[in-house]
Chain A
Amino acid sequence: MTAPRPTPTAEPLLQVRDLRVAFRRRGEPDTLAVDGVSFDVAPGQVVGLVGESGCGKSVTSMAIMRLLPRRGVQITGSVKMDGEELLTLSEAKMRERRGRDLSMVFQDPLSSLNPVVPIGLQITEVLRRHRGMDKEKARQAAVDLLDRVGIPDPRRRVTAYPHQLSGGMRQRVMIAIALACRPRLLIADEPTTALDVTIQAQILELLKEMVAETGAALIMITHDLGVVAGLCETVNVLYGGRIVERAQRHRLFGTPRHPYTHGLLRSIPRLDAAAGEQLEAIPGSVVDNLPWAHACAFQPRCPRSVDRCVEVTPEAENTGGRLLRCFNPVPASAE
């Protein structure tokens, strides 16, 4: 389904290095939501961040967008876009880049759209601020954008309020707003989780088309392995705030090496599986995690754990285009 995209060559568009986000709360130890995440996004590349709730995938995106509250949050590491550090940028400069250079689509479009402003106005606002269009021009551009994202009868719909649209339509509007200024990086945080499958298919298709058309890079954040399988070139699997495995999608899904990735793929019921196949559940839940500082966080749930897993923190090692954080990975031939 995906058209092969130009292989990224030169400078990365976005460079995330050793990103850590700690939430502090009075009278309690810090919670490390993101614990040293590093990855690159090349221009026009589609990168997936996959993991379950609490793995830090959403916090990572919020940190990149600088949307986390200042109080009670400590962010360290580096996020560079075109070589410029975003984490230390002034609030005014960051606001200018947000929407113009990088923008975001959220899971719940209803709560991220302003409920009392017509959708057309919400788009023209962005266009006028970042692209300096006059009122008439911006209005025409908004209608074109709505038409482009597949909203029927866009001329009538510009005056509609978010609650008058269905979930799928709202998400289309969000995508239109996010892409209004042709950003070079789009972050989509669970954009289809709140939607039905048939609508999800429409939105994924639209996202694919839109990034291909505008040449924007896309970071797709999701818990759904199926969604990334058809969409992302490179897939990062997160667990407990760290990337445990990263590979090109065919390799990752073909031969998952980390026990977590491997276990996850075997534990989900699949449409294409043979009938009566037993699911191999991963025991326990994320509350069983060990802290990365002392051990492998996944160890208590891991079927392949060895003694070292509770003694030393496994480092991320890059072998043959695959990043792996495990002492005892699943053999490549096991599949």
Chain B
Amino acid sequence: MDTDEATAAPHASVDGTGPLLDVRDVAVHFPIRRGLILDRTIGHVYAVDGVSLRIHRGETYGLVGESGCGKSTLGRAILRLEKPTFGEVWFDGRDIAPLKGEELRTMRRRFQMVFQDPMSSLDPRQSVEGMLMEGLKAHGLSRGPEADRARLRELVEQVGLPAAALRRYPHEFSGGQRQRIGIARALCVEPDLIVADEPVSALDVSVQAQVLNLLGRLQDELGLTYLVIAHDLAVVRHVSDRVGVMYLGGLVEEAPSQALYDEPLHPYTRALLSAIPVPDPELEDRRERILLTGDLPSPAAPPPGCRFHTRCPWRQPERCDTERPELRVVEGTVGGHRVACHYAEQIRSGTLQPHKVEPAVAEDVLGPGAVPDQPGSVTEILGR
């Protein structure tokens, strides 16, 4: 799935000029096992299936897609919380995909994660102080009790909490405050990259903006690089410089955030954008909605050819069903707008018009009961 640009470029250099993160053709396949005594592998869930992307220093890259598209798995593969089945993850000039053990552990200081559910991602038995100290100690950043205390106070204040928060336990905070603690934990080891997986979707609407603004402020202050993973395009558009759209394990479109919203080229992106409700009745009444039929096909049995062809209103016979389109730069677009669609130019110029799609019943290669017909997500299939 490499683009010309990606293959031609030399490996990200150590001197800090190349991209901070260079993901090359990464795939994560989970085996589906059945059997009482001997586990037989009866298939694979192709959660991430060949994704390449680059994130530059100080940039915010937004990754959007619906549940089951593999965006979270990709995030975890980048953080090496999941081992990529194949592919390379170059972080600051070093491929971290094959790392393990102590080498990987010390490397973790440089890339951190912010979780979706601020309650479950904090150990209920650990005070905020204990949590942050653990991070400092894990990477030898502890500078004696006096200096540590000052550092912890600085950390919680940085995320907008009073110093008194240090002595408290997660259940004593509100959802928004817990997410601030989660951010403080990610910050305590002074990382370069933060992967935020749905950082606000578990929060109340009125609190989401606080956390989004905080993330923005921290980026300005600390020069962080973000990978923000979310299902909400409005959130992603707001925070990101560039946005990648995922569908069924692959990247289908990537563009500077404004360009993506101004001129979505991939049929899926168009449908996604038009499906998002906007709190403006005037606009809602006027909007032309592209309603997709059917559900996401199972990532255990992705359709051949273009993964989106089963639901695509612009689908053309033959080529879409058989040949998987590569992510390629479309001529005449802004900022390296990349699309994985054979007919991106024709759709853009309007020579191809959408047609009606009959909802397809997803086929079950694994036999009845093995996998729900159209599972919501990878986690659902694997029963984790």
- Give, as a whole number of angstroms, the nearest-CB distance from A258 to chain B: 13
Nearest chain-B residue to A153 (Cβ)?
B361
A169:B272 contact, CB within 8 angstroms: no
Which of A1, A199, A267, A268 has the largest count of B CB atoms less than 10 A from its CB? A268
Contacts of A250 in B (CB 8 A): 281-282
A202 with B291: in contact, given A164-B373, A197-B231, A282-B209 (CB under 8 Å)? yes
B residues within 8 A CB of A230?
Answer: 277-278, 281, 284-285, 287
Other-chain contact of B174, A168, A253, A281, A287 (Cβ < 8 Å):
A287
CA distance A227 to B280 in the complex (A): 10
Q: Indicate which residue in A196, A205, A268 contacts B234 across the interface (CB closer than 8 Å).
A: A268
- In the bound complex, do residue B207 and residue A198 qualify as a contact, i.e. CB atoms below 8 Å apart? no
Give the interface centre of B205, B208, B237 by most chain A CB atoms within 10 Å: B205
List 9 A-B pairs, Cβ < 8 Å: A52-B205, A196-B296, A205-B291, A226-B277, A250-B281, A268-B209, A269-B209, A271-B273, A285-B177
Most buried by A among B212, B238, B293: B238
Interface contact A253-B209, CB-CB below 8 Å: no
Residues of A within 8 A of B66 (CB): 196-199
Total interface residues in chain A, CB < 8 Å: 58
Q: How far is the CA of A169 from the CA of B213 in the complex (A)?
A: 37
Contact B212 A269 (CB under 8 A): yes
Taking a contact as CB atoms closer than 8 A, the residue among A165, A202, A273 that contacts B373 in the complex is A165
Docked pose: A205 CA to B271 CA in angstroms: 14
Instruction: Compute how far the CA of A233 lies from the CA of B226 in the bound complex, rounded to whole angstroms.
Output: 40
Chain B residues within CB distance 8 Å of chain A: 66-67, 174-177, 204-210, 212-213, 231-235, 237-239, 257-258, 261, 271-285, 287, 289, 291-296, 358-361, 372-376
Residues of A within 8 A of B293 (CB): 202
Kindly report which residue of chain B lies nearest to residue A252, judged by CB atoms: B281
B residues near A200, Cβ cutoff 8 Å:
275, 277
A166-B277 contact in complex given A199-B295, A264-B205, A282-B209, C-beta closer than 8 Å = no
Q: Report the separation of the CA atoms of residues A1 and B282 in the bound assembly, to the nearest whole angstrom.
A: 10
Residue of B176, B208, B284, B360 near A152 (CB, 8 A) is B360
- With a cutoff of 8 Å between Cβ atoms, the chain B residues found around residue A281 in the complex are 206-207, 209-210, 212-213
A293 to B116, CA, bound (A): 35
A279 to B293 Cα, complex, angstroms: 34
CB distance B210 to A201 under 8 Å? no
- The answer to whether B206 and A166 have CB atoms under 8 Å apart is no
Q: Tell me whether A275 and B258 are in contact in the complex, defined as CB-CB below 8 angstroms, given that A169-B295, A205-B291 are known contacts.
A: yes
Is the pair A167, B176 in contact by a Cβ cutoff of 8 Å?
A: no
Question: How far is it, in angstroms, between the C-alpha of A219 and the C-alpha of B374 when the chains are bound?
Answer: 30
**B298 nearest CB neighbor, chain A only:** A166
Q: Which residues of A contact B174 (CB under 8 A)?
A: 285-287
Cβ of B375 and Cβ of A271 under 8 Å apart? Answer: no
> Which residues of A sit under 8 angstroms from B205, Cβ to Cβ?
52, 223-225, 264, 267-268
CA distance A166 to B237 in the complex (A): 28
Among residues 176 to 225 in chain A, which have CB atoms less than 8 Å away from a CB atom of chain B?
Answer: 196-202, 204-205, 223-225
Task: Name the B residues within 8 Å of A272 (CB-CB).
Answer: 278, 280, 283
Minimum C-beta distance from B375 to chain A (A): 7
CA distance A150 to B237 in the complex (A): 32
Q: How far is the CB of B9 from chain A (nearest CB, A)?
A: 28
Is the CB–CB distance between A224 and B374 below 8 Å?
Answer: no
